[in-house]
Amino acid sequence: MSIKNFAVLVLLFISLMGYCQNFHGIVRDSKTQEVMPYANIGIRGKQIGSISDQQGIFTVDLANAKPEDILVISYVGYTSKEFQVSKIDLNKQHIVELTPSAQLLNEVVVRSKKDLIVLGNKGKSSRHTGWGDFTSSRGRAIGILIPAYKIPVRVNSLFFHLNACEFDSVLVRINFFSKDGEQLIPLASQRKNIFHTIKQKKGWVEVRILDDIILDNTKAIVAIEWLDAWAKPRSMEEGGSYVFTISLDKSSGYHYQRQTSEEPIQLNHSEFTPSMYLECVPISTQK
């Protein structure tokens, strides 16, 4: 065998090995069989993961995962599924079916809408943070820690200040988390995904929260997760990648960042934190 042919075989083998390290498939609702767009897929405790696309299709590179690692597929309002990496057949496409979770919540009674309660940062500065690509940033999130308030409140709206949006439109997901050890879990009162499409170029963006998201005397994290963006691709000569950035407020606090859904919590104390705030109303609960 010639050296040239041997080199070709080696490259082919490396390519096949790379392919066999990908976990790929589609996420569906177990009852309706509808595809589930933007489901989170990640290795617990590591920055390895991705999200499914608009058709529920996903591919996750497991080259840096260990056989004993646990891969989690999750979606708000559904029971998560877990897979041990060593037991995953990487040579086939998987159909992952998630089951809606039964959540029993207290009845919520709004006491007053007269005085709105503002939690978070209403200011902004010239500083900003964000993303600048179509697909590589999918699943990344930015947010702030909301300190525990003295009484339970219901979230009416989330506001965040858009420093710049060069895309034609951007799809984000709003997540509310509580802390569970070194991991974050969806807030108990968040029963489904909150999606929001952004077409404006800058300024304050309001996301109306139609479900009963309750902050019940505990710390919570509210985060904006990058899901998708649409614009005509442009060359480096035309300006390169588009950007989507959120302003930072000169307000000391905890800045939340996430690369993948199952990585350890990244809560960094900073003098500048994202320009994000919640408008809430006080409530009472009845069991």
| pLDDT tens digits, one per residue of 163-196 | 999 999 999 999 999 887 777 888 888 989 999 9
Q: What is the pLDDT of residue 197?
A: 97
Any idea which fold 3-100 has?
Immunoglobulin-like (2.60.40)
Q: Mean pLDDT in the chain? A: 86
Mean pLDDT of 195-208: 96
Q: What is the pLDDT of residue 43?
A: 95
Q: What is the pLDDT of residue 21?
A: 85
Q: What is the pLDDT of residue 1?
A: 52
Q: In 10 A of CB 228, how many CB atoms?
A: 21
pLDDT over threshold 50, residue 107: yes
Locate the domains of the chain by residue range. 3-100, 107-286
- State the Rg of the chain over Cα: 21
Residue with tokens 């994290």: 221
**Which residues partner with 256 through β-bridges?**
143, 267
**The two three-digit tokens of residue 203, written as one number:** 């300024």
Mean pLDDT of 31-58: 94
Q: Which position has the higher pLDDT, 204 or 1? A: 204
Phi/psi at 118 (nearest 5 deg)?
-105, 125
| pLDDT tens digits, one per residue of 204-251 | 999 999 888 999 888 899 999 999 999 988 777 777 788 999 999 999
d(CA 15, CA 106): 54
Cα torsion through 134, 139, 142, 145, rounded to 10: 170
Q: What is the pLDDT of residue 113?
A: 59
Burial code of 109-121, b = ≥16 C-beta within 10 A, e = fewer? eeeeeeeebebbb
Q: What is the pLDDT of residue 37?
A: 96
Same fold, 3-100 and 107-286: no
pLDDT over threshold 60, residue 17: no
pLDDT confidence of 115, banded at 50, 70, 90?
confident
pLDDT over threshold 70, residue 7: no
Q: What is the pLDDT of residue 217?
A: 83
Q: What is the pLDDT of residue 101?
A: 87
Most confident of 34-48, 120-134, 173-187, 234-248: 34-48
pLDDT over threshold 50, residue 11: no
Any idea which fold 107-286 has?
Jelly Rolls (2.60.120)
Going by their DSSP bridges, the two strands 70-74 and 40-43 should be labelled as: antiparallel
Share of the chain above pLDDT 70, in %: 86
d(CA 283, CA 105): 14
Which is nearest to 88 in space by CA: 18, 178, 24? 24
Q: In 10 A of CB 227, how many CB atoms?
A: 22
